[in-house]
Each structure stands twice: as structure tokens, then as C-alpha cells.
Structure 1
């Protein structure tokens, strides 16, 4: 089955960015024009732009717009990175653009290069993951890690697309992904557009699917991977890893190398973003009272001990992850 990108998540127009407003998918395919650093930061913070890899490229372009408007490079960089502190891809991309600016080079060249690098990295992850997961036809995934979250075919979903493109049988079980339903809104839509069989399940049903023998492997993305292999991903990932471990189902992380943060020793050192209570409480009939106490972390951390393998464009890592990460870093 040939797999093509249904939409472009991000594009540079010469004077700004055009980005798909992911808050509107699947009800509408609408694009935003972002011409200032403030507009890029708002789009990132409100999840109009989301997905670790797209965050990175968008952040680099946001930095470009900031320095073009006369902002101090350090100020422009810090404002962009603060929009989503857990995603190390954003930090890495902005830092690369900032370093180019300080060297007297054009940071736009860095941002444009990141677009092409991400496409190539996603393609490599897809092929490496396809071989690593040979024979695993029924894959459970969480949140959204495909063409909407990257500038290529995706990371975890890139493996799915690679399987489909090779004519191999593949079916995806996609969690709804509370509270913002990126799995239900984005992953299901993307796979349906590509003609890949997908079954939606509520987050609370994932453990039953794993212990019930419906799943061959779990494949998720990552927003940050610590030096020891502990991995931060969308809230709910830890529960999947625990259930997969109990059920004896392999649990894989798929991410481009810029999600690996050697400066973060372990998961305890990863900053976890807290989101607004309104995302959980909502509005309308039957909603909890507005002053209800809410704990709404955007991410959780899966210990390396629960991870079977980490698929990157540089290779597939297996435990012990500390030496494996250090080896590929060299």
C-alpha cells in the first residue's frame, strides 16, 4: 500500500509560517499564518502547533521571526522554549538557530535544514522500526506521532506507515488520549486518510486490550529521553508501559535523535508541564464546578526498565540504555 502525506503540518512562506491548526482537526483543515514570534509562541502554547518534531521546527522559525523583529537572541530563544518546557526538541532546535545567529550566520538556514532532516529521520525510523517489529501486526499507540506531529511520515506512526508501504499487514489500536483526545482526533483521522485499519479505544480500555491478547506491541513517541533511557511522553504512556510489562507485550519508543537529552540524567530531572484545569473540567451541562481542584500534567515518565527498545534514525537501542545512548551519541 502506498502511503502519502495527507497534509503539510508546517511550511515557511518567506515572511512567516503556515501551520495546520491541529485544534481543528478532524472537523476542519485550517491553516494559520504566523508572522511574529508572539504568534508562534501562542500557537505552540495553545496546541495549534503540537508534536515534538513540529514544535522544534516551529520554534526555530519563531526564533527567526523574533530576531528579524529586533529582539535580543537570548530573549527570543527563552520566550519560545518556555512555551512547552518538556519537549527537548523545541529547546534543541531553538538553540541551534540561536548559535547560528551568534556566529553571524542566518538562523533561517538552520530552520529550513531542520525540515529536511526531520523528513529523512522519520523515513529511517520507519524502516528500522519495521524490521525491528517484524511479525508484530497489531500495534497499540498513544497520542499522535505521525505526519501531523513531524515534517515526515512520523516516528511511532512512521513505523506503521512503513509497514503499510511495504505491503505488510498492520492494524493500529489508538488510544483516545485524554484530556485533549489527540489519538481520537488526529491519529485516527490520519490513519483513515492513509487507508490503514485503525480501532479507537478509550484510554481506560488499553490495559484490557493488552492483557486480552489483542496487541502484539506498543509503539509510542517521546518528548524527551533521559541519558539512562527514562522517557517522557504524553500523559497516560506510563500506564500503557506498566500494563504491557504485566501482559508480556513489547513496549517500544520511537523518536528522532534530538529527543535524546544526555544532559538530563534520568526521568526525575525532566520538567513536567502542567496544563490548565479548563482542559479537564470543560464547559457546558454536566461539567464539574469551575473551582474543582485539577491535577493536569501534560506528560508522564516511563522508566527505562519498562522499555523494550528505542527506535531512532541512528539505530535501535536496547537495554541497558545508558551505554547504548552514550555509544550512539559518540
Structure 2
């Protein structure tokens, strides 16, 4: 089944990157809605809710996922018939995918304005939005040099350097722990985000916080490129974003780990960069300082206090 296959591919990081995860999820929901064997509207809503929960359980830190699922599922409560509900899911999914793709293009255009001719840019992980900014600045004829990190343990940096090389951009590939030693050569840091909180803190691939700290120390600006659906609405209520911890086998082979009786392997996939280490957040709606993150949640994501209250009730029921 497409839904379960998509969920597994997201969970195992075969599908990676917050934007790609979000688009894959809504496409899977739309496909599931088209084929769900439901005899009435209530059964359809129930089946779709189960499908949504299957997807939401795959990557707890990727806020793009619940925002995307929310965007597709929201019209179900107002539908008056089964055909109307099926059509609403398909239309919302198509609209989300189109909007997401255009968002990256818009971010690239805005972000490139903040990259100067002659910059030496450091980027981390394989952010679609961050990479788009760099590629667009290069396309505009700006002379750039890029430093790209390895991104252990899943080596997403390999994807980044391939894209940079294909574009003809001079790139240095470095191990993650070399960041501080080369920071004085860097004039701008450009990274993506998996989530942004109401106070402007940025949740991104593990290692981002250390990069931002080194940049802060060196007085190097940090620009975060992120679609609006990566902002975390429930942080308005004080909720913390769960940091995903992945399998120890990604870090150390199981046959070696089994021989170490007193060693625990920890593998957090993300870290949190405080807002004071971020200079600018570039979204498809414009560039904002981190302290204005709440305006994105309030004005563009379509969540309201009733949505939060309903979700809190559901959460408490699930915990019971």
C-alpha cells in the first residue's frame, strides 16, 4: 500500500528533507483517500485519521509533517458528503505540493539577495531551501566559494556536494568537527531548518547549533532558509519539540556495540539553535528576524486557538 510504503520510506530516511517529507506525506494521503473503501463520511474520516497518525509517527521532529497533514485534513470536518470529502483531500494535497515547490523558488530568490559576490558560504546538511539560495546566487553570476559539511552519521553532505559540483561551484568538503577551525574563512552561514519555534529558535540537523555558536563567536552572520510550514504552531502553547533519536547502529555497527558492555551509543538527529545565534530567517513570505517567528505562525499557517485546544484534547485521550 502506498501509504505504508511512504511512511516506511520517511521513517528510514529514504525520503529525507523536511520539504520532501511533507510533499510525500500529502501525496500519500491523497492517494489513500482515492482508494479508501469507506461506505459513509464517518468511516472515511476515521480511516483518514488513522492514515494521518501513521504518517505523523514516522519523524517526530519534522514539523513540516504535522503542518502538511493538518493542511490536508482540515477540510474534512466541514465536508457534507463522502465525495466532497475525497475531493477536498485531493485538492488540498495538490495545492500544498504546488505551494511547497513554489516556496523553495521564492526562498531562493529572496535568499540570494543576502548572499554577496565574493562570499565564502558554509552550509550544513542537505537543505533544499538553503541549497536553492546558494544555487540561485551562483546562477545570478555571484562568485562564491562554499564549504559543505560531511553530516555524520548519515552523510547527507554527500548529496549537497554533488549538487554544488553539478552547478560548477567551488566547494570544500569538510568533516563536521572542522567547522570552528575554518570559521574565520567564512563570511556567511546558510542552513535550513526542520522546525522553528515561536521564539525563533531553530531545530535542524545535529551540528547546526555548534556551527551557529562558532559563527556567533566569529561575528559571522547565520541565515536560515525555511518554508513557512516548518514553523511549529504548538510551541505557542509552550510545547517543546521532540528531538528524534535514531538507531545506534547508524553510528556504531551492532557487532562492535555488543562487545562494549559499559558504552551507550547516543544518536540524536537534531539540535536546537537559540534565536540569538540566528541573524535572519528567509521564508517564501519574506525575510524576518527570528523574534518575529510568531507572525508566521499567526498569519500564514492557518492554526487557531480552537485547533490547539482540540489537539490537546486528542493528545490527552491518546495518553490515557
Per-residue deviation, 1:243: 0.6
Scaled by the length of structure 2, the TM-score of the pair is 0.82
Which is richer in helix? 2
Question: Is the 1:36–1:66 contact (alpha carbons within 8 Å) kept by the matching residues of 2?
Answer: yes
Distance, in Å, in 2 between the alignment partners of 1:322 and 1:226 is 7
Question: Is the 2:118–2:145 contact (alpha carbons within 8 Å) kept by the matching residues of 1?
Answer: no
Answering whether residue 93 of structure 2 is matched by residue 111 of structure 1, we say: yes
Per-residue deviation, 1:43: 0.4
**CA separation of 1:136 and 1:270: change in aligned 2, threshold 3 A:** farther
Per-residue deviation, 1:135: 4.2
How many residue pairs align between the two structures?
283
Per-residue deviation, 1:114: 2.2
1:193 matched residue in structure 2: 166
The equivalences for 1:108-147 within 5 A come to 108-135=90-117, 137-146=119-128
Question: Is the 1:314–1:328 contact (alpha carbons within 8 Å) kept by the matching residues of 2?
Answer: no
- Residue by residue over 1:118-173, the C-alpha shift from the partner in whole angstroms, topping out at 9 and shown as x without a partner, is 22111111111111233462110110013xxxxxxxx1111111111111112211
Distance, in Å, in 1 between the alignment partners of 2:242 and 2:116 is 35
1:174 matched residue in structure 2: 148
Q: Which moved more, 1:240-249 or 1:69-78?
A: 69-78
The equivalences for 1:27-46 within 5 A come to 35-46=1-12
Distance, in Å, in 1 between the alignment partners of 2:118 and 2:197 is 27
- Residue by residue over 1:172-223, the C-alpha shift from the partner in whole angstroms, topping out at 9 and shown as x without a partner, is 110000110101x21011111222222100000011110xx21111111001
Task: Tell me the secondary structure at the aligned position of residue 168 of structure 1.
Answer: coil
1:20 matched residue in structure 2: none
Per-residue deviation, 1:329: 4.5
Distance, in Å, in 2 between the alignment partners of 1:280 and 1:144 is 19
Distance, in Å, in 2 between the alignment partners of 1:266 and 1:219 is 29
Task: Tell me the secondary structure at the aligned position of residue 172 of structure 1.
Answer: strand
Answering whether residue 64 of structure 2 is matched by residue 89 of structure 1, we say: yes
CA RMSD, Structure 1 to Structure 2 (Å) = 2.2
Scaled by the length of structure 1, the TM-score of the pair is 0.80
217, 221, 230: which one aligns with 2:188: 217
Task: Tell me the secondary structure at the aligned position of residue 287 of structure 2.
Answer: strand
1:60 matched residue in structure 2: 26
1:298 matched residue in structure 2: 269
Question: Is the 1:218–1:250 contact (alpha carbons within 8 Å) kept by the matching residues of 2?
Answer: yes
Distance, in Å, in 1 between the alignment partners of 2:5 and 2:290 is 42
2:36 matched residue in structure 1: 69
Per-residue deviation, 1:109: 2.4
1:321 matched residue in structure 2: 292
Distance, in Å, in 2 between the alignment partners of 1:53 and 1:192 is 22
